[in-house]
Amino acid sequence: MDLAETEEEREFRAGLRAWLAKTLPELPPRPSPDDWPGRRAYDLGWQRRLYDAGYAGLHWPAAAGGRGAGPARHLAFLEEAERAGAPYVGANFVGLLHAGPTIAAEGTPAQRARWLPPVLRGEEVWCQGFSEPGAGSDLASLRTRAVRDGDAYVVTGSKVWTSHAEIADWCELLVRTGPDAPRHRGLTWLAMPMDAPGVTVRPLRTLAGSAEFAEVFLDGVRVPVAYRVGAEDDGWRVTMTTLSFERGTAFAGEVVACRRTLGALARAARANGRWDDTVLRRRLGRLAAEFAALWRLTQWNVSAAERTGGVPGAGGSVFKLAYSQARQELYDAAAEVLGADALALEEEWVRERLSSLSYTIAAGTSQIQHTIVAERILGLPKGR
């Protein structure tokens, strides 16, 4: 990939920068971190503004309702949005960054027409129903059952750590349809409406005080067969597509945000005298180099995905490993800069530090990513 921008791409960046400068001051105040209904309304409102201005789904294929723009515009959008302090995807994370791309890659034309436009227009929120009690990152061990009954599946079981379940309209749900098949087979990917009878959501409060996760209990929930993405019992392959997006590109915008936070940390350290600590200065310098390298890796992953049909490859696991660790180290450094204020929950950096503890678990633990890198990139023998 040639990283030098063309004249057309420079014009795109300038137009986007001007639009952001005009639009951001018009936004209403952001709701509190724990006001999820308010955050849903705020995040969907921002997504609608992006859609109306032609900036929604920039890198999605045109056949899926996107703009079909190349990786250069996608990356330019991430840089400019973060530089301007634009809202993050927030409640739209699952729909925009992995359920939507999965349906674009694996869904039928009718499924793309039904589910993708509302995501891009900021009308519907998705949650992720993969993890289960006793089967966190080991998805092949999941036990939630779906039994075919005419034109529907009857789903029974439970999920945990379900992102945004409390405010979601749809759930990307992984279920077992072939109980006698080997554990990596007999799985099916379903789109489940969250208002279906038999769905119960119980929010989980995290260490940082947020309730963005939930337990979801499924008691005889009927999901139409037409809502199945991919073939029955082929859910493992479809899920690998979902996880490729989640690990390969979904965190790309957060790398830009971390670089901005790093700059703010340096300014805060100069202001409160912590900058005189040479150990801290070296730590911030090393983190600056790591996030610069992560952004280059992001550019490589996005470019590689474009060349191979839009689905990121195993390189996403390299990114996920390094990013998870760097993010935790970033907010550990923030605690050093804050000093005694590092115990104050009202400080944004303190909440982010507590949240960062989950990053080496979320989207597949670091142990899972090590295994993927060993087997799929280094070609080492598979474990038994």
| Nearby residues of 378 by Cβ (< 8 Å), 6 or more positions away | none
Task: List, for residues 317-338, the tens digit of each pLDDT value.
Answer: 888 888 889 999 999 999 998 8
Tokens of 123: 């009308």
As a whole number, mean pLDDT of residues 215-222 equals 97
pTM: 0.83
Would the pLDDT of 177 be above 80? yes
* Arithmetic mean of pLDDT over the chain: 87
Q: Does the active-site annotation cover 375?
A: no
Beta strands in 124-283 (DSSP E): 126-129, 145-149, 152-159, 170-176, 187-193, 199-204, 213-224, 228-229
Task: List, for residues 347-366, the tens digit of each pLDDT value.
Answer: 888 888 888 887 787 777 88
- Upper half-sphere CA count for residue 16 (Cβ side, 13 Å): 25
Would the pLDDT of 1 be above 70? no
How large is the C-alpha radius of gyration of the chain? 21
Would the pLDDT of 17 be above 90? yes
Residue tagged active-site, from 80, 166, 246, 290: 246
- CATH number given to 126-233: 2.40.110.10
- H or E element that contains 116: helix 109-121
Confidence (pLDDT) at 112: 94
Q: Where in the chain is the domain with CATH 2.40.110.10?
A: 126-233
Q: How far is CA 331 from the centre of its chain?
A: 19
- H or E element that contains 315: helix 315-338
Provide the pLDDT confidence category of residue 15 given band limits of 50, 70 and 90.
very high
- CATH number given to 248-377: 1.20.140.10
Q: Where in the chain is the domain with CATH 1.20.140.10?
A: 248-377
Nearest CA among 245, 237, 235, 240 for reference residue 101:
245
Q: Which of 76-80, 193-197, 252-256 has the lowest mean pLDDT?
A: 252-256
